[in-house]
A and B are shown apart, each in its own frame.
Chain A
Amino acid sequence: MKKKKAASLEDAIANLRDGSIVLVGGFGYGGVPETLIEGVCDSGLRNLTIVNNNAGTGHTGIARLLEEGVVGKMICSFPFASESHVFKELYAAGKVDLEVVPQGTMAERMRNAGAGLGGFLTPTGVGTEIAEGKPEFEMDGKTYILEKPLRGDFALIKALKADKRGNLVFRKSARNFNPVMAMAAEFTIAEVAEEVEVGDLDPEIIVTPSVYVDCYLVTGG
């Protein structure tokens, strides 16, 4: 059985490179891989593209990534939250790029990448700025635009438990983007509160099967 457990935080994120596209799970407080993000903050990496629903709030998590100068570009659906001071300042100063994507399109673009598909047709964004430059299709009297898959070099996700194979279960709405990001990245790193033996997770409730998980870090929290 392939050993996926990281020996340390540094070990877990050792493969990240300058310029990597990094999918970061979490929505609000739930499902945020806080430990992994802290590790990236301290890594000295530069020019990462970060995919997350938001652009960080306060001074922790993604806001700290921005503050440490790690981020070259954000891809998100809701960048200007009231507490997103760090991002707003950097964006206004032209120090970070931004791509705003409708939230459902963002999720589906990642699922699409994970599913080996080359894009999908969505009604979302038709007639808006989002449609600019994208091919339009008519089908059964309805208009759709073509959206392309969004692949990550890495995904940093958070789950409740991993078994030693790397199967994951989540907790409540902390699931959010984490399972689709696990699918969409070349290399997925999961931060988990608890590690259990193979066989301890009911196979009927495993949300992310181990094939999507390359490495997990047990944080105990």
Chain B
Amino acid sequence: MARIMTKPDKPLLTRDQVARRLARDLEADWVVNIGIGMPTMAVQYVPPERDVILHSENGIIGMGPPPEREEDIDRDLMSAGKGPVTLIPGGAYVHHADSFSLARGGRLDCAVLGAFQVAANGDLANWKVLGASAGNIGGAMDIAVGARQTFAIMTHLSKDGSAKIVDTLTYPPTALGVVTRVYTDMAVLSVTEDGFVLEEVAPGLTAEDVQAACDAKLILPDTLCEIAA
């Protein structure tokens, strides 16, 4: 069980604002895998002219947004989250083994995944809660291990107030040492060899607020930026 932390009595970012902040860091021409749930929300904030190529684990390379008209929904063209999507011009289909060859083979510039916990050494937990006899792995283990970098997007604290930014995982790990950046409703953090560096804080929050909501020591930069929400 992770420690219960202090949640600041101040407004935090909405899920949309966190998604929008993360989307700014998805660079032009990157190949990106987007996990289900909160990560999917980031897609709408990536401008098309950036030409980020989205990989969907079920064999879509160049996944486009959901179709605008209901009559264009195609049951044979769905995302990993089982929602209707489209194919961008120049997109391609592959089978499952090829799709994961691409992921493990280092062709993903970035994976955006949800998380239960992220540890100071970049360990990721997102498949199984503590004490459960089983959980959902999906494609997360392969994708986190294979991607050149992994962005975790999540609320800063669990619903019960326990820490998700931790020194050492208390949840079963998904992959070791993979997370490079963390985007939450309180902060943007990077994971370095020395541990978490607090890069940006949500408007109205202080570094102390964020530290009080982390069960890991944060390294403070010389200048702390505010998240442009």
Query: A residues bordering B, Cβ < 8 Å?
Result: 27-31, 77-81, 91, 98, 100-105, 107-108, 110-111, 122-130, 170-180, 207
Q: Which of B60, B128, B139, B176 sits near A127, CB closer than 8 Å?
A: B176
| B95 with A207: CB separation less than 8 A | yes
Please determine whether A78 and B93 come into contact, CB atoms closer than 8 angstroms.
no
Stretch at the interface among B99-107, B209-217, B218-226: B99-107
CB contact between B137 and one of A91, A100, A178, A207 (< 8 Å): that residue = A100
**Chain A proximity of B80: nearest CB distance (Å):** 8
Which single member of B75, B123, B142 contacts A104 (CB below 8 Å)? B142
Apart from A102-B141, A104-B103, A123-B146: 20 A-B pairs, beta carbons within 8 A: A29-B82, A30-B77, A77-B136, A77-B139, A80-B135, A98-B134, A100-B135, A102-B138, A103-B139, A103-B142, A110-B97, A122-B104, A124-B104, A128-B141, A129-B172, A171-B76, A172-B77, A173-B93, A180-B95, A207-B95
Q: Which of A77, A80, A107, A207 contacts B99 (CB 8 A)?
A: A107
Q: Which residues 41-66 of B have a CB within 8 angstroms of A?
A: 56-60
CB contact between B175 and one of A27, A77, A80, A128 (< 8 Å): that residue: A128
Given that A102-B141, A104-B103 are contacting pairs, would A180 and B97 also be in contact in the complex, using a CB cutoff of 8 Å? yes
Cβ of B150 within 8 Å of any chain A Cβ, yes or no, is no
Determine which of B96, B142, B172, B173 lies in contact with A176 in the assembled complex, contact meaning CB atoms within 8 Å: B96
User: Which chain A residue lies CB-closest to B143?
Assistant: A104
Question: Is A28 a contact partner of B78 (Cβ separation < 8 A)?
Answer: yes
Q: Determine if A103 and B74 form an interchain contact, defined as CB atoms under 8 angstroms apart.
A: no
Q: Which residues of B contact A (CB under 8 A)?
A: 56-60, 74-78, 82, 87, 93-97, 99-101, 103-104, 123, 128, 134-143, 145-146, 172-176
Q: Which residues of B contact A102 (CB under 8 A)?
A: 137-142
B96 touches A173 (CB 8 A): no
Residues of A near B137 (CB, < 8 A) are 77-78, 100-103, 130
Q: How far is the CA of A205 from the CA of B82 in the complex (A)?
A: 26
A175 touches B95 (CB 8 A): yes
Q: Most chain-A CB neighbours within 10 Å: which of B76, B77, B99, B103? A: B76
* Pair B104/A104 contact, Cβ less than 8 Å: yes
**Is the Cβ of B100 less than 8 Å from the Cβ of A103?**
yes
> When chains A and B are docked, how far (Å) is the Cα of A7 from the Cα of B78?
32
Give the CA-CA distance A78 to B127 in the complex, in Å: 9
